[in-house]
Structures are given as structure tokens and as C-alpha cells.
Amino acid sequence: MAGGPDSGRVVRLGAGAATAGSAPTCSLPLTDTTLPPVALRITIDIKGGTTLAPEGGADLLLDDRPVTSGTPWPPSGVVRAGDSLLVLDRVAEPDAHLSAMSEGGLAYNRPPRLSPLRPRRRLVVPVPPTKGDRARFQFIMAFMPMLFGIGMWLLTQQIYMLLFCLMSPMMMAAQWLSENREGKKQHKTSVKQYKKDIAAHTAELAALGKEEQRARRADSPDPAEILLFATGPRRRLWERRLTDPDALHLRIGSGSLPSDVELVLGRGGSLYEEERPEPPVLPDVPVTLPFSELGVIGVAGDRARALATARWLAVQAAVLHSPRDLSS
């Protein structure tokens, strides 16, 4: 359970069918009063493939998309059911390096950690093509040779000289029609290419959003993961050092936050800052507070929930940071 009244619970499911809801008879009983007695049916095959089916008229979302009968539930996928967040993960063995100490107890060798900072991704947003100005008919250039032809006819009295009067306007008219036709053809080609570019951009932006969702959730573990880190123990126990940029950045919940992807307009786009495209919003990502910068934090509200929140913050700090770092 990654969020909601039952945050921190870990339920192991085997092959077969399981149910989740507010009824105590469910395989995964939840204290979420916004859910019907049976809100979700989970089916796991012998290969580990998992599918979902809503029950009791419950509105379920999997990574912000509606859940229908037979919807696959991939590992790390987040299901929102009422006020609860459920995450599917595979069973992992404890992997922390422990060694017995001569004076008793166990020594934990905290492994090195790679920098959690990730480069900010940048995407160029295709700009729709503009329809160019229509070609202008050059009247002066068309009729000046007519004056020359009339003058030559008056001087020579040759009827053939009048052909110059017709030739020039006809040539200019043909050029005008050709340029307009070519302009329309180029605009049609540009629109077709723009549709392909915007479709590719949308797909890439969605993929980057999913990748960023997974990265944010991995960087700020949910209560169930914190429990597994501590009781395993896992390698991520005490992973943060005081020199890390996310030191004492503690998760207080989940919400919808703007993506960190930088969007810039392509060639021909607006130069005004206020007209730049806004990044997409990522649903159900961790919301954190930088305790090292804020100093004192107050938790207000219902006493039971406020105390639970305070315990969660204390446990989170103790699991992600070593006692030596917290005492310094």
C-alpha cells in the first residue's frame, strides 16, 4: 500500500484470484471508507501475469487511466482505488550485506550510492506550419511590355508587333498560377509532416512522463518500501548521505506535479516566454519537503492522523539516513 489509510501494508499474493475492498472478508481488506465492500478483483496466473477487474461499480485508475475488466497490471504500476494507492511489485530477497560482530550484533556495510541527480530532458515541440502569402500578380511587369509592343506597332505598322502585347501578360499569368499552385502543394506537405511530428512528439512525451514517474517513485519510496528496506534489510537502508541533494527530503504524500521535462518551441515558434508550452502533469507522484531547508515543520489536523504522519516522517528519516548523519 503506497498511500491511503492503510499505507505501509505489504500483502503477498500467490497465483489465483484475490479481492480488495472495504469488506473484512477480502483478500486485501482496506479501511478506506470510500470503497465498496469488494472494489477490485486481482487475477495472477502461474507465470506472474496480473490482471485487474473493477467490482461493485468502483472507479479505478491505473497510472491515471481507467481500469476495465482484464486490464494488465504491470510491476510498479499504481492503482488508485478511492483514497488508496496500491502498487504491484515482485518479491525480492533481502540483499543488504551484514556481518557478525565479535562483541555481538550485526555490522551493516552501507554500499556507495550513485548520484540521484538526473539530467533534465528537453523536447522540441513542433510548430504548426503557417500558410504563406499568395503570389502577387505583377501588373506593372505584365503591362510595361504591352506599351513597348504598341509603340513598335505604331512605328513599324507590323501587326506581329502586337503579339508582344499579349505574350507578356500571358507569361506573367502563367507564372502567377504556377507559384500559387506550388505554394498550396508545399503547405499541404508541411501540414502532413507536422501531423507526423506532433504524433511522434506526443508519444515521446508520454514515454518520458512514465519514465519520470517511475524515477520519482523510486527516489522517494512509499511506506511499504520503507518497511521492506528496514526489515529485510535491503541495500537501500541508510542510502542517503548528508552530501546528497535529496538528504532529508521526506515524502509527505502523493499528488499531481508538473513534469521536469523542458519544452521548447521549434524553429519558427514564438519568442515570448508566456507563450511557451507548459510541461505535462504527472499523477500520483511523491510530494516531498526539504526538511534541511525548512527547519521546523508543523503537522496539524486530526490527532490520530497527525500522529501517524509524524511517525511516518520519523521512520522515513531513520530508514533513509544513518543514525550518525541524523545526530550530526
The pLDDT value given to residue 24: 92
- pLDDT for the residue 219: 92
Q: What is the pLDDT of residue 272?
A: 53
pLDDT tens track for 148-204: 767 777 777 777 666 667 666 777 777 777 777 777 787 788 888 888 988 998 999
Is residue 35 within 8 Å of residue 21, measured between CB atoms?
yes
Identify the residue whose cell numbers are 477487474. Answer: 53
Q: What are residue 16's DSSP bridge partners?
A: 44
* pLDDT tens-digit map of 129-141: 777 656 666 666 6
271 — pLDDT class (breaks 50, 70, 90): very low
**Is residue 306 scored above 80 in pLDDT?**
yes
Instruction: Kindly report the three-state secondary structure assignment for every residue of the chain.
Output: CCECCCCCCCCCCCCEEEEEECCCCCCEECCCCCCCCCCEEEEECCCCCEEEEECCCCCEEECCEECCCCEECCCCCEEEECCEEEECCCCCCCCCCEEECCCCCEEECCCCCCCCCCCCCEEEECCCCCCCCCCCCCHHHHHHHHHHHHHHHHHHCCHHHHHHHHHHHHHHHHHHHHHHHHHHHHHHHHHHHHHHHHHHHHHHHHHHHHHHHHHHHHHCCCHHHHHHHHHCCCCCCCCECCCCCCCCEEEEEEEEEECCCEEEECCCCCCCHHHCCCCCEEEEEEEEEEHHHHCCCCCCCCHHHHHHHHHHHHHHHHHHECHHHHHC
Confidence (pLDDT) at 42: 94
- Provide mean pLDDT across the span 28-53: 92
pLDDT in tens, 68-113: 999 999 988 899 999 999 999 887 788 888 888 888 888 888 888 8
Answer whether the bond into residue 233 is a cis peptide, omega within 30°: yes
What is the model's pTM? 0.77
Q: How confident is the model at residue 40 (pLDDT cuts 50, 70, 90)?
A: very high
The pLDDT assigned to 139 comes to 64
